[in-house]
Amino acid sequence: MSEVAKASPTAPRKLKDITQWDFETDVAIVGFGGAGACAAIEAADAGSDVMIFEVASESGGSTKLSSAEIYMGGNGGTPPQQASGFNDESEDMIQYLLMAGGPQADEKKVRAYVEGSLDHYHWITGLGVPYKMSFHEKRDVMCLTDDCLLYTGSEKAWPFVEKAKPCPRGHNIEVEGDNGGPLLVGILTDQVEKRDKIDVHYETRVVTLIADENNDVHGLVIRQNMKEYNVKARKGVILCAGGFVMNDEMLQKYAPQLLRATYKVGNPGDMGTGIMMGMGVGAAAINMNEGFVSLPFYPPAETTYGILVNSAGQRFINEDCYHGRVGFHLMQQLGDRVYMIFTATDDWKPPSFLFADIAGTGETIKELEEELNLPEGTLQHTMAYYNKNAADGKDPQFHKSAEYLAPLEPPYAALDCTPGRGAFFPYFTLGGLDTLPSGEVLTPEGKPIKGLYAAGRTTAGIPRTGAGYSSGMSVGDATFFGRQAGIQVAKQNAR
């Protein structure tokens, strides 16, 4: 074996060099987060023996760190949607997700996801995940009560609202505080552990895949306690090893613009090794430049009354869209500064999650403009134009909804939302292996690689760009397509 092969997840171990199998199973799963758990449950329930290999000492991955909202709907509405008076049509959800994915949206995945969404709700709740039949109406980054439904994206905002009837589709688990992730993972872990057909190996690093000369995948090499073992996967391997936000070298190579953001959202295992292993047997990695970058300027929802301006003193976005969409367009602004401007009466406080410094204040906009050193007259015009139209409930330039339109009044304050100057910009990756809705991993020419499946952020899934992200898409995508991969691999003949 060459030096390259020895050191690298991208170089599979050769099947012909394997002299013994230390473990055998039908389905080998790399990673015990949301995707891996759901894949394991489905594969086991279809009668397959499953092994999960998790590098950490416990389950959960990035799902556990998240709020674990799941983006669900369509089909006339899930029970919480119907109970709250929302009849969510599938075509509206499909249209929203296609717009949200941008030109790289995967229509096959979108349609499969929507068509199976109500079933997914019943499957998840059938495992014991509780949802309250309630609606959290307030605009929020997450729901800190135990209520269920909330708007988690740009459904009500331009341009989405013009093309797809809005509906809240973020399903928040019935638990107080930001504790959805641990609760969901706890339930999924219990479900895994009670299945005899599933065997979990913690603190186990997957070193590389085992493939034959045609890149058909037959198993993987694991390392436990400083020793390597060969695992035969009679039906297939499912890569559920997360994204690559923790791997700065990969970020620099594939998505360098994300490095302007400040806070990596993920777990230490998000090193891209699943993606690299896939590439090592000829899989296509796609959408690798895309990521989620957020400027979480709400809650409180009232900050949405503020306006964002760039260094030309211009607005550039409807501030009522999702914080990730704001982040996406903020990062595209020419010039080196972005400010968010508010009416700052005595009771005004900067939004708690933003950590943005106050860059300037003023009794008049002219004073603020000078303090911010914006080109003379620009902010004055922007504000006059905005205020005049906001008084009429209109935003002819950017189409912020009337709900958040009101003239800004003195005294004013501006928060510095320039990347790199203090404001909080969480980010994660949205690129990964190209897969079919069934989880089959594809070559650059679109041919499935035999024996290899993937789900979750190791793949390019439903969320394809920060410009169209909604909270709940990642855990939704991971759990839904994790299930599909488990179902698909269980159907294979054992080799």
Residue ranges that bind a copy of itself, judged by CB under 8 A: 1-5, 7-11, 14, 102-104, 213-216, 249-250, 252-254, 256-257, 259-260, 276, 279-280, 282, 284, 286, 288-290, 312-317, 329, 332, 334, 375-378, 381, 385, 396-398, 434, 443-447, 449-450
Nearer CB in complex with a copy of itself: 25/465: 465
Nearer CB in complex with a copy of itself: 99/279: 279
H-helix or E-strand containing 359? strand 358-362
For residue 427, the SS3 value is strand
Nearer CB in complex with a copy of itself: 128/444: 444
Q: Which amino acid is at 302?
A: E
Smallest distance, Å, CB 353 to a copy of itself? 25
Nearer CB in complex with a copy of itself: 58/107: 107
What is the DSSP secondary structure assignment for residue 244, as one 8-state letter?
S
Helices 473-490 and 117-126 pack at an angle, to 10 degrees, of 80
- Torsion angle of the four alpha carbons 132, 137, 140, 142, in this order, in degrees rounded to the nearest 10: 10
Smallest distance, Å, CB 162 to a copy of itself? 11
Smallest distance, Å, CB 319 to a copy of itself? 13
Question: Rounded CA gap, 215 and 28, in Å?
Answer: 17
Question: Rounded CA gap, 273 and 271, in Å?
Answer: 6
Q: Which amino acid is at 106?
A: D
Smallest distance, Å, CB 443 to a copy of itself? 5
Nearer CB in complex with a copy of itself: 342/386: 386
Bridge partners, residue 114, by sequence: none
Nearer CB in complex with a copy of itself: 7/358: 7
Nearer CB in complex with a copy of itself: 245/317: 317
Please say whether the dihedral angle defined by the alpha carbons of residues 258, 262, 265 and 270, taken in this order, is positive or negative. Answer: positive
Nearer CB in complex with a copy of itself: 76/375: 375
Integer-rounded Cα radius of gyration of the chain: 24
Smallest distance, Å, CB 160 to a copy of itself? 12
Nearer CB in complex with a copy of itself: 179/314: 314
Question: Rounded CA gap, 72 and 168, in Å?
Answer: 9
- The CB-side HSE value for 285 (13 A sphere, CA atoms) comes to 26
User: Do residues 279 and 247 lie in contact, with contact meaning Cβ atoms separated by under 8 Å?
Assistant: no
Smallest distance, Å, CB 247 to a copy of itself? 10
Residue 262: closest CA among 419, 31, 378: 419
Smallest distance, Å, CB 258 to a copy of itself? 9
For residue 222, the SS3 value is strand
Residue 353: closest CA among 430, 270, 289, 265: 265
Nearer CB in complex with a copy of itself: 82/104: 104
Smallest distance, Å, CB 101 to a copy of itself? 10
User: Do residues 114 and 97 lie in contact, with contact meaning Cβ atoms separated by under 8 Å?
Assistant: yes
Question: Rounded CA gap, 332 and 283, in Å?
Answer: 30
Smallest distance, Å, CB 389 to a copy of itself? 8
Smallest distance, Å, CB 146 to a copy of itself? 37
Nearer CB in complex with a copy of itself: 177/375: 375
The residue to which tokens 């900067």 are assigned: 350
Question: Rounded CA gap, 495 and 444, in Å?
Answer: 26
Smallest distance, Å, CB 178 to a copy of itself? 31
- The CB-side HSE value for 193 (13 A sphere, CA atoms) comes to 9
Question: Rounded CA gap, 199 and 195, in Å?
Answer: 8
Smallest distance, Å, CB 376 to a copy of itself? 7
Residue 429: closest CA among 454, 461, 401: 461
Residue 487: closest CA among 436, 431, 434: 436
Question: Rounded CA gap, 205 and 231, in Å?
Answer: 12
Nearer CB in complex with a copy of itself: 99/183: 99
